[in-house]
Amino acid sequence: MTKADLRQRVWQTLERAGVARFPGTVGRIPNFVGAEQAASLLREMAVWRRALVVKINADAPQLAVRRLALAEGKILYLAVPQLRSEKCFLEIDPQRVGKRAALAASLAGACRFGRPVSPREMRPVDLVVCGSVAVARDGARVGKGGGYCDLEYGVLREEGKLRESTPILTTVHPLQVVSERIGMLPHDLPVDFVVTPTEVVATRPAHPRPRGIYWDLLRPLRINAIPLLRKRLRRGFTDAPAPRRL
């Protein structure tokens, strides 16, 4: 089963089971019934309690996790959609936003109240929470197909804002946990923990993490569309050969 086939199957399964929430599943990190319970379970994890700075994806099912982070006083980073500016992350400091923290947890609120920063300006990240369409118990995951989650991780690894040991987790509905083997490429991001509304799975990932940006796997159009990558390539901040079209 290809990743595209797996996405379609999971999206359809969630819809048929009646556990998908607005705005639907197809083409998205699916919002699911029980997302708040998954966030509550995550709250009890040692990796969460220790984290002072967290990077969390901006999708709807992780809204409860972002609200929790700000309520507990954690510095929150979200990526600017499609990394479309050089200051491609938004920093939300709960002390700075004050009573607007709950509003700032949404993508619209983060764009309004957050501080745009470049990767170099960011604080070191203690924990990454990513969205998934499907995930396996060996840590392999499938996103919605854009590749931005993997790219964001690669950028932050190269800037030294993430370490090899920085924990990575995802919150999903149990129907998103699949038994199929998910093929992983060097730039694909595995997870250390899978959190559902009812359990936490420690995956002990069987797949290596990306060590940075894999320039030879990026299409020229993708590089040209992302200011940070375009600038880095122009300045020669890559030891990879010129990108080739896949």
Domain harbouring 40, CATH code: 3.40.50.10420
Instruction: Give a yes or no: residue 210 inside a domain.
Output: yes
Residue 239 burial (CB count, 10 A): 7
Q: Tell the residue number behind the tokens 């983060």, with chain if given.
A: 110
Cα distances (Å, whole numbers) of residue 152 to 23, 81, 146: 24, 11, 11
Instruction: Give a yes or no: residue 246 inside a domain.
Output: no
Instruction: Give a yes or no: residue 241 inside a domain.
Output: no
Contact indicator for 90, 117 with CB cutoff of 8 Å: yes
pLDDT at 139: 96
DSSP state of 52: S
pLDDT at 238: 55
pLDDT at 240: 43
Q: State the DSSP H helix or E strand holding residue 115, giving kind and residue range, or none if neither.
A: strand 115-117
Confidence (pTM): 0.92
Could you give the number of structural domains in the chain?
1
**Structural domain of 155:** 3-235
Tell me the residue length of the chain: 246
Instruction: Give a yes or no: residue 87 inside a domain.
Output: yes
Strands (E), the chain: 53-56, 75-79, 89-92, 115-117, 127-130, 134-136, 141-142, 168-171, 177-178, 193-195, 200-202
Instruction: Give a yes or no: residue 130 inside a domain.
Output: yes
The pairing of beta strand 115-117 with beta strand 89-92: antiparallel
Burial class for 87, CB neighbours closer than 10 Å (0-12, 13-18, 19+): middle
pLDDT < 70 positions in the chain:
236-246
Q: Chain centroid to CA 224: how far?
A: 22
Q: State the DSSP H helix or E strand holding residue 68, giving kind and residue range, or none if neither.
A: helix 63-71
pLDDT at 1: 85
Residue 55 burial (CB count, 10 A): 26
Instruction: Give a yes or no: residue 245 inside a domain.
Output: no
Instruction: Give a yes or no: residue 244 inside a domain.
Output: no
pLDDT at 177: 98
Instruction: Give a yes or no: residue 149 inside a domain.
Output: yes
